[in-house]
Chain A
Amino acid sequence: MKLEIEHLSKHFSGNQYPAVNDIKFSMQAYEILSFVGPSGCGKTTTLRLIAGLERPDQGVIRLDQHIISNTRTFIPPEKRNIGMVFQDHALFPHLSVFDNIAFGLKGFTKAEKKDRVSELLELVGLEPLAKRFPHILSGGERQRVALARALAPKPALLLMDEPFSSLDAHLRLEVREQIRNILKASQSTVIFVTHDQEEALFMGDRLAVFNQGKLEQIGSPETIFHDSGSRFVAAFMGDSDFVRGKSMPSGFQTELGLLDQQNDYSPGTDIEIAIRADDIDFELNQQGNGRIINRFFRGAFNFYRVELDSGAIVHVFKLHTEIFQPGDRVLTYFNAGHPLKIFTR
């Protein structure tokens, strides 16, 4: 294992709840792990604990089988061999691009520094900008300099704290693909923090979903998305709606009708079913079970918001040719073609 973390906790004085609460996970070498969760969920604090920028209250952090932090040991950040890309890039404004990248190359001779820096400038595609200063670079260029600087000393682990959040939306899509290719080409082991589900799915080989200081679930993007381990993960990662029901031997009884799905629940258990917009469908029907409240045009699709008679809200995809009016009564029914995720209430 490259990185192993056990029972990691951190409570900031003055806060009611711990920022990081008994977290445990491990990482393989060359893996990219996305930390994702709403703001204040503890993902950034966990990152800073690993970096050594905060001291944990408890827990063990091992990097390459060496303890870098436990109750007795606290290796300072400069001795951990961990690189970090900051949200605001944190390029030193008084140093040129070259000097920024060379900053971490302690103990290198001049010639070695030059070689390593040009290697990295090539990797990130910024050879012509070596002599520039950070303030005249574009957002995307700064991003890549920050990455080159963090990678230069060949860190055992690279941490990236919402690195794309300062970029414009259109630039973000372009840059994240470049960055992912660079990370894979340089065989880096990376923890990538984001609050954007889509970005987490794109960047991570695996995802770790955080909520209120706890690690809710860790797994491959497919697992997280299709086999959410908790209601929170389903809601946060999959934009799921929830419909209540009761388990029966043959399936689940809900206001959308019977969901035909094998299960081990004892009959009569109160459950909730996580539903995405492509898992259900509706047709116009005066005797139906809901009412259209709104239609959102999404190019190839119409995206309908339907209020069921119980008050629950669900969303439904329809082709762009199928147009209904808000207020229309509809009959909504299951149309998934795969098992849906069930949570007990």
Chain B
Amino acid sequence: MFRTEALRSTNRRQNKPIPKIAFLAGWVALLAVVPVIYILIRALTGDPELWQRIIQTRLIKLFSNTLWLVLAVTSGTTLLGVSMAWLTERTDVPGRKIFRWLLALPLAIPPYIGAIIHLALLRPHGGLISQWLEGTNFASLPLPNPTGFWGAAFVLVIFSFPYVFLLSGAAFRSLNASFDEAARMLGRTSWQTFWQVTIPAIRPGITAGALLVSLDILAEYGTVALLRFETFSSAIFVQLAGRYDRSAASILSGVLILLALVILYGEFRIQGQSQFTQIGSHWRPTTLIHLGKRRIWGFLALLFTVLVSFIIPVGLLLFWSAQGILDQQTISGMQIGSKGLLSFIFNSVWSSGFAAILAVLFSIPIAIYVVRYPGKVSRLFSRISQVGYAIPGVVVALSLVLLVNRFLPFLYATPLVVVMAYVVRYIPQAVRSSESAMHQLSPNLEEASRLLKRNALQTFVQVTLPLILPGLLAGSALVFLSSLKELPATLLLRPAGFETLAVRVWIWTEEGFYLQAAPASLLLVVISIIPLYFLLRRETIFRQ
């Protein structure tokens, strides 16, 4: 009896060899988590007196500012995103196909460029609108203050709502007509059906979108800095770039990361349940709601949203760019030393592209490990590798400054540090894309390949890779898009002379040269539209 027990336990160990992929995945998870751990340790081991001073002087104000902004923007984007998705997916409002595209396109405009346009229009003195009004009877009309809490909340809602719009649109689309019909047959009015069936069914999708938006707002630097509303991100930036106080920055970063980790944990919990609306084989689209005469109001709501979030900003950028190009002085101002726009484009594209490739390569072992060997360890690795969602750009910059200086000094002051920051910050997006691509691949295909005489590596190259390639490309497009728009980490980490489009737009704006910044902004938007278009074509609501 004793003997057989002993035998069995050795068998167990023999029979469950740790797959090699686990080691690769472990390395990736480690790389992804080191910056966070390092900052948390720095924060916890910070000088107690400094802690006390920060708690007394800064923390409450920063906390309330940051939380209020997150709350306002998240509710705003949810409201706007879900109603836009409802109008374009569930009603017969005219032009809804074109509106679907136009509503997603603001994702190509980084919020800080939105903030620049917002300021250019609404500045109390010198703003375009106030200039127009000056000659007219409306000169004394009180214009809303473009800066501060409401300004920042407005700009961030306008340029973040597409996340929620896309996720809730997909959720609306995947709802089976039979849910609605069953509810109606069970005696619910269409209004009751909406609240009791439709909304609960799409709730996980909406919540996941809203939580991702809140993480984005925690990380947002450019907009809040420009509109002078202080949050954790902008305060850390000032500590780092203005006062060179890394200890205070570490403490603030530690608090910010903890806040973000709580939200990320909530998002992970939601992710697990968001699968219950699936398009099965018996799926039928729900019938559209006929708005009748109210169609015009729906149409106007869509038109207004699209005008404010995409058409006016891009129109103005076009107009200013044309003005700028015609003006000799502005043109020469765009030349920095020997470098011009072309060099900024080149730097933007190669650094983002390189980051995209690295992030996707790193994400592959994680995806294979968690999808093919589901279990506690693999899920932990996958989640750890997604911790970058919770590290704002300023914090990534701080931890890389400290870590690179200490352990990889030869990398310091090279553009590679910037690429590293993009990888750490955006690898979660690649991990998600790769995981979902792996999920869609039936394990039977890989098993069939093994039985047809291919070993594990040959199977990966000949079967797995070609089939998950579209998913990997989508992941890299996403990382590319995000890196292209990234501002704070690039500003803090870039070596002197390494200028990307985002950096140039920012510097010109800070110096007050709005006209000069316009062509670079426009280029950034146009380049962003390319990966965005590729990504949107894969979205549920743009298929067929």
Contact = CB atoms under 8 A, between A and B. Distances in A.
A90 B445 contact: yes
Interface in B12-56: 12, 14-16
Given A90-B442, A90-B445, A92-B445, A78 B15 contact: no
Interface in A128-155: 149-150, 153
Contacts of A56: 15
A93 B444 CA distance: 12
Contact of A94 (B447, B448, B467): B467
A79 B11 CA distance: 22
A170 interface: no
Contacts of B444: 86-88, 90
Contacts of A52: 450
A53 interface: yes
B442 A77 contact: no
A94 to B, nearest CB: 5
B210 to A, nearest CB: 34
B452 A51 contact: no
A104 B452 contact: yes
Residue of B450, B451, B455 most packed against chain A (CB within 10 A): B451
Contacts of B8: 57-58
A150 B448 CA distance: 9
Contact of B450 (A57, A58, A76, A87): A76
Q: Is the interface of B mostly helix, strand, loop or mixed?
A: helix
Interface string A84-120: 1011101011100000000110100000000000000
Contact of A84 (B15, B448, B454, B463): B448
A15 to B, nearest CB: 14
Residue of A79, A88, A103 most packed against chain B (CB within 10 A): A103
B463 to A, nearest CB: 6
Contacts of B447: 51, 53, 77, 84, 86, 90
A51 B448 CA distance: 10
Given A84-B447, A86-B447, A93-B467, A57 B11 contact: yes
B11 A58 contact: yes
B451 A77 contact: yes
A191 to B, nearest CB: 13
A214 interface: no
B450 A77 contact: yes
Interface in A157-187: none
B436 interface: no
Contacts of A57: 8, 11-12, 15
A55 B453 CA distance: 18
A149 B463 CA distance: 15
Nearest to A58: B11
Interface in B224-248: none
Nearest to A82: B451
B85 to A, nearest CB: 30
A78 B445 contact: no
B455 A78 contact: yes
Given A88-B442, A90-B442, A92-B445, A83 B463 contact: no
Contacts of A83: 451-452
Contacts of A310: none
A84 B452 CA distance: 9
Contacts of B466: 94
B449 interface: yes
B463 A92 contact: yes
Interface string B405-445: 00000000000000000000000000000000000001011
Contacts of B454: 78, 106
A86 B448 contact: yes
A305 B68 CA distance: 70
A57 B15 CA distance: 7
Nearest to B14: A71
Nearest to B445: A90
A106 B11 contact: no
Contacts of A87: 444
Interface in A269-300: none
A94 B466 CA distance: 7
A149 B451 CA distance: 11
A218 to B, nearest CB: 24
B452 A103 contact: yes
A22 to B, nearest CB: 12
A45 to B, nearest CB: 14
A153 B14 CA distance: 31
Nearest to B447: A53
Contacts of B448: 84, 86, 90, 92, 149
Nearest to B452: A104
Contacts of A55: 15-16
A140 B419 CA distance: 51
Contacts of A106: 452-454
Interface in B479-516: none
Interface in A42-58: 51-53, 55-58
B383 to A, nearest CB: 20
Contact of B453 (A53, A78, A93): A78
Contacts of B11: 57-58, 71
Nearest to B12: A57
Contacts of A149: 448, 452
A257 B453 CA distance: 62
A320 to B, nearest CB: 36
A84 B451 contact: yes
Interface string A29-72: 00000000000000000000001110111100000000000010
A141 to B, nearest CB: 17
A78 B442 contact: no
A58 B307 CA distance: 69
A94 B454 CA distance: 16
B376 to A, nearest CB: 11
A53 B14 contact: no
Contacts of A153: 452-453
Contacts of A71: 11, 14
A103 B444 CA distance: 15
A83 B448 CA distance: 8
A103 to B, nearest CB: 5
A78 B450 contact: yes
Contacts of B463: 92
A51 B451 contact: yes
A83 to B, nearest CB: 6
A94 B15 CA distance: 33
Contacts of B453: 78-79, 104, 106, 153
Nearest to B469: A94
Residue of A78, A104, A149 most packed against chain B (CB within 10 A): A78
Nearest to A53: B447
A34 B396 CA distance: 60
Contacts of B442: 88, 90
Interface in A299-319: none
Nearest to B441: A93
13 contacts: A53-B447, A53-B450, A57-B8, A57-B12, A57-B15, A78-B455, A90-B444, A92-B445, A92-B463, A103-B449, A104-B453, A153-B452, A153-B453
Interface of B: 8, 11-12, 14-16, 442, 444-445, 447-455, 463, 466-467
Interface of A: 51-53, 55-58, 71, 76-80, 82-84, 86-88, 90, 92-94, 103-104, 106, 149-150, 153
Q: 8 shortest A-B CB distances, which residue pairs?
A: A104-B452, A90-B444, A77-B450, A90-B448, A55-B15, A86-B444, A84-B451, A78-B453
Given A58-B8, A106-B453, 10 more contacts: A57-B11, A77-B447, A88-B442, A90-B442, A92-B463, A94-B466, A103-B449, A104-B451, A106-B452, A149-B448
